[in-house]
Amino acid sequence: MSAYTKFFLFIIGLTALIGGLTQIFVLLFAGLAVILAVSFAYSWSERSLDNLTLERRALPSKLNYGEVGNYQVTLENRKLLPVPWLKLEDKISGGLDFVKSSIIRSPIGQKGDIFSDRFGLRWYERVRRRYQIRPRRRGLYTFGPFELRYKGILGFFTKTRKFTETVDMIVYPRVLRFSGDGVEPRYLFGSRARRGWIHTDPTNTMGVRPYQTTDSFTRINWKATARHQKLESDINQPSYNPEVHVFLLVGRSQAWWEERVDNRFEVAVITTASIADHAFRNGYRVSFYTNARGKREGRIAIVRPGSRSRERILGTLALLKPFGVGDLGKFLRDLRWQIRSGSTVIVVSNAREKDIGGLLRDYSRRYRLTAVWTSGNERTSAQNGANYLYVDGDEKWDEIETLTLSK
């Protein structure tokens, strides 16, 4: 109860007391009526947030750049007492455009925006509202912490409840198609052998056949052997899924706070996402490595092939910051022994070639290396058999319609 409310009640009580002592019954009954009304309002306010549930959701929780998402708020009043004049205030990350802009305000000197909307619930009523949102760029957007505030019917009493729960939405980077005006994207991956009996998948058995002396001991199907009373071997389905290793490398010495460097990094992220997407659509298994800082500070991000690899790679790219972590040379040396010799390696970087080109020299000797640079108009000749391609990193990342690879 505020000091103003206490002072008001003191004046009303004093007025009622004077009316009783002087037998001015109008003042007495008026004062008692006001005191009764204020007491009722206070009791209502104290119980207003009881049995009130609130659910907030970001739909979907993972969103492609350029798509429209929804922020869903569901309020349910599970009691007989109505709850009018209810206000929700939610702290949200900056960079989200709400279609209904009147519910968003940006406090001066505060990071992020404030979402605010009013509700009124009758007894045992549920209200669900959806607010359309359009993210301005990739990244992690957080809704929360938040608070519910009820303002009493007479305006004297306010009940507030604060919550620390947060809701996250991840916005994937832009994925673009490659332009037909530049180098074709197949130049990145090289020629592919036709599908056939090049490899077999031991987890995908299509039948059994009589055992041959050249068969591996692990291929014997013991159940079929017991049933037919002779050795039987599994027949595995053919499998040819070539693997591509995609790197996104960032130099540590870059002035990442400058708009030019930040834009080149965004172009590098878009290029990496588009290359990975193209590889997935053409049946490649993709491994991803980066030294850019992500969700876990100080940790190098590595995504191996597996289930939902595309989603995991795009999710990793969505959270990256435009500055590197750790020793880039050590990072490349440690991975050198994890990648088979002769594999296809694609390196995307927004750094200058002269800064990290020397670190790739050993990679160009061991692997089929293609480096894609987004560092502007600075171009040098490829070394040690590596292929150098370029993407215009000075074009605004949100204005690029198709990716053009050039030599």
Pairing of strands 368-373, 387-390: parallel
Tell me which of 344 and 206 has the higher pLDDT: 344
Q: Tell me if residue 224 falls in helix, strand or coil.
A: helix
CB atoms near residue 71 (< 10 Å): 23
Most confident of 135-149, 201-215, 244-258: 135-149
| CA–CA distance, 389 with 378 (Å, rounded to integer) | 12
Which residue's structure tokens are 């850019």?
Answer: 292
CA nearest neighbour of 306 among 320, 292, 332, 288: 288
CB 150 within 8 A of CB 85: yes
Coil, strand, or helix at residue 241? coil
User: Measuring CA to CA, which residue among 298, 318, 296 is closest to residue 252?
Assistant: 298
pLDDT in tens, 144-186: 899 999 887 666 778 889 999 999 999 999 999 988 777 888 7
pLDDT at 91 over 80: yes
Percent of residues, the chain, with pLDDT higher than 70: 86
Of the pLDDT bands very low, low, confident and very high (cuts 50, 70, 90), residue 396 is very high
Residue 91's nearest CA partner among 107, 73, 70 is: 107
Q: Quick one: CA torsion of 310, 315, 318, 324, rounded to 10 degrees?
A: -90
- Does pTM top 0.85 for this prediction? no
- pLDDT at res. 33: 78
β-sheet bridge partners, residue 86: 119, 150
Q: Which of 361, 355, 354 shows the shortest CA–CA distance to 384?
A: 361
Least confident range from 118-122, 159-163, 187-191, 303-307: namely: 187-191
45 has a pLDDT exceeding 60: yes
Give residue 345's pLDDT. Answer: 92
- Residues 259-265, mean pLDDT to the nearest whole number: 88
Query: Peptide bond before 60: cis, by omega within 30 degrees of 0?
Result: yes
Question: Which of 69, 180, 84, 73 shows the shortest CA–CA distance to 123?
Answer: 84
Q: Please, what are the domains in the chain?
A: 52-172 (2.60.40.10), 186-192+242-399 (3.40.50.410), 199-239 (no CATH)
